[in-house]
A = this chain, B = another copy of it.
């Protein structure tokens, strides 16, 4: 229901910054503006911030959802002139400087789009209808339910084809999300599956990763690609490089190689695109649906509208197609914009991305890390990966609790969260 009346926001003497999206970009912008002379109106359709880098652990029964999502109101407790509204944003009216939401209209002095990205299926409608993406906590839980339900179906059947159908997992895309998901399922296959499903002893889980490019983790170094491919293959993951998905009807995955795979579990991690409400000038939108911004994250052709994080495409010499759509970009752009907004526009400083390196984990004590020209793998890389994630998460929650919980969960091989709490109903 769209209402045209104004959403109630307490009056405030300071100029109002409306931030759409409580992902890494929006959260870090709002944090950096704590108690500054602005009224901050943060909007999200959920009442929590989700820690996206660990969604795959929820999907693979390794962590409970509540340990990687954090109540927004708790993060911003005791902030002055800060307001949170849980609603969907429908459109932007830059002429009137307001946005229309599910619950009414909200005026802004500055608008910041931090609305992130969503799955990009590149027009493959049947794949979109029959697969599950890995961009939200709800999708992660759907993946968890779907696979556990399907293994139960395999377990209830004495038909070989049915058993094979339901015990194959196909992951499209070998970026960090695809590789980490495949590795976690490989551990599920090794440590949980044989004990939980002794009736399926002749039908081990089959895990496939389909990658259109020539290597896994193509954004990382050649060495990292090679090492992680090695690790995956040692863990019995079938990696199909140089191979694209052509179609999927919920049962048969058709590949560009002509090969087909029977599977009722298709996970899409092969592409993302920016997402934002309507109202942005079409000529400033890139092919991957990101919004062109200048070096100050200001949306081209619009006054007082900014975009940060995944949704922003800032073309620079080093990043002619925009910065990588990853958490560090979002965090740095949020923090940088907060600084500029406190200055006269004439004194604004251009954004400079500091690439702190790349990390991906393939499994316990197996990871790859690139820092400039340095490359690490194995236990040391995994230690860095764990530490970085633990520090990032503990910013949101009780450190002791998350630390214990997370380390215990992760260090043990027992994926204790293999629960079908809400049954998944296929979309088509």
Name A's B-contacting residues (CB within 8 A).
Answer: 7-8, 10, 46-48, 64-67, 69, 71, 73-74, 77-78, 83, 85-87, 103, 137-138, 141, 148-149, 152, 155-158, 195-197, 199, 397-398, 400-401, 404-405, 408-409, 412, 414, 416-422
User: Given A48-B420, A87-B156, A401-B405 in contact, is the A196-B77 Cβ separation under 8 Å?
Assistant: yes
Q: Is the CB of A77 within 8 A of B195?
A: yes
Copies in the complex: 2
Contact (Cβ within 8 A) A416 B71: yes
Which residues on the B side are within 8 Å of A87 (C-beta)? 156
Contacts of A73 in B (CB 8 A): 196-197, 418
Q: Which residue of B lies closest to A408 (CB)?
A: B401
Neighbouring B residues of A417 by C-beta, 8 Å:
66
Bound-state CA distance A158–B83 (Å) is 14
Distance between Cα atoms of A90 and B302 in the complex (Å)? 61
With known contacts A64-B66, A66-B66, A401-B405, A8–B196 Cβ distance under 8 A: no
How far is the CB of A75 from the nearest CB of chain B, in Å? Answer: 11
- Check A422 against B419 for contact (C-beta < 8 Å): no
Q: Please, which residues of chain B bring their CB within 8 A of the CB of A47? A: 148, 152, 418-420
Least CB distance, A219 to chain B, in whole angstroms: 30
Q: Of all chain B residues, which has the CB nearest A65?
A: B421
**A419 contacts B71, C-beta separation under 8 Å:** yes
Q: Enumerate chain B residues within 8 angstroms of A103, measured Cβ to Cβ.
A: 156
**Inter-chain contacts of A405 with B (CB < 8 A):** 401, 404-405
